[in-house]
Chain A
Amino acid sequence: RKEVEQDPGPFNVPEGATVAFNCTYSNSASQSFFWYRQDCRKEPKLLMSVYSSGNEDGRFTAQLNRASQYISLLIRDSKLSDSATYLCVVRSNYQLIWGAGTKLIIKP
């Protein structure tokens, strides 16, 4: 089992829809969790950290489920500009482990 797993997609979603995807991790002692966004041919950029109680930033909501060892990202009212690859990152034993990313395509 990979340390951090994501559905590669692509997720094809109409503009305005709500989309959610998960990321599972194998190390139950993992300490920190993040979602990064990577646009085509660009560098990854931090989208949001994921806190134990869940957190929201505008149209984006991140959740952590320690019991089932996954984090999730929910995007409401999706925009064309949300099209990107979303990378899950988990901090375990001082190392940052990156998922392979989920590709999201928002269609008009």
Chain B
Amino acid sequence: DTAVSQTPKYLVTQMGNDKSIKCEQNLGHDTMYWYKQDSKKFLKIMFSYNNKELIINETVPNRFSPKSPDKAHLNLHINSLELGDSAVYFCASSQDWRGPGPDTQYFGPGTRLTVL
């Protein structure tokens, strides 16, 4: 059983298009995250949701909009895609980040986005 799943795994699209990436976790975790890993392999957090509530919103262009319909899902919609958006996007989940539980983050397999 996949703990954290993302779709699609690969996404190739033209500049200016709008695309969405979906993420689901079946671990019962309260907190979910979106990360971007660029060509230099630096992993940077974009957003974090806890029980459908946005708790971390790093400096990310407002073309990126996360949506959490329930605590098991966190989707990422990107408007007007640009060349610089090409990267691998990882979804992750963990237990409530504010609680005493373990901080371990479980990552999805990643979505490799290429903007042409």
B103 and A98 within 8 A (CB): no
Answer whether A101 and B103 are a contact pair too, CB < 8 Å, given A43-B90, A44-B90, A94-B97. no
Across the interface, name the chain A residue whose C-beta is closest to B58. A95
A96 and B45 within 8 A (CB): yes
A95 and B56 within 8 A (CB): yes
Bin the interface of chain B by size: 10 to 19
Segment from B66-74, B77-85, B107-115 that makes contact with A: B107-115
Kindly list chain B residues whose C-beta atoms are within 8 Å of the C-beta of A32.
103
Report how far A87 CA is from B105 CA in the complex, Å.
13
A96 and B105 within 8 A (CB): yes
How distant is B2 from chain A, measured CB to nearest CB, in Å? 11
**B43 touches which of A42, A49, A87, A91 (Cβ 8 Å):** A87
Kindly list chain A residues whose C-beta atoms are within 8 Å of the C-beta of B104.
34, 46, 49
Report how far A101 CA is from B43 CA in the complex, Å.
9
A44 and B98 within 8 A (CB): no
Answer whether A45 and B98 are a contact pair too, CB < 8 Å, given A95-B56, A96-B45. no
How distant is B108 from chain A, measured CB to nearest CB, in Å? 6
Kindly list chain B residues whose C-beta atoms are within 8 Å of the C-beta of A87.
43
Across the A-B interface, how many residue pairs have beta carbons closer than 8 Å? 41
**A44 touches which of B43, B56, B97, B102 (Cβ 8 Å):** B43
Report how far A96 CA is from B48 CA in the complex, Å.
11
How distant is A17 from chain B, measured CB to nearest CB, in Å? 24
A85 on the interface (CB 8 Å rule)? Answer: yes
Answer whether A46 and B105 are a contact pair too, CB < 8 Å, given A94-B97, A94-B98, A95-B56. yes
Please list the residues of chain A having a beta carbon within 8 angstroms of any beta carbon in chain B: 32, 34, 42-46, 49, 85, 87, 91, 94-96, 98, 100-101
7 extra A-B contacts, CB within 8 A, seeds A44-B90, A44-B107, A95-B45:
A32-B103, A43-B90, A43-B108, A49-B102, A49-B104, A98-B44, A101-B41
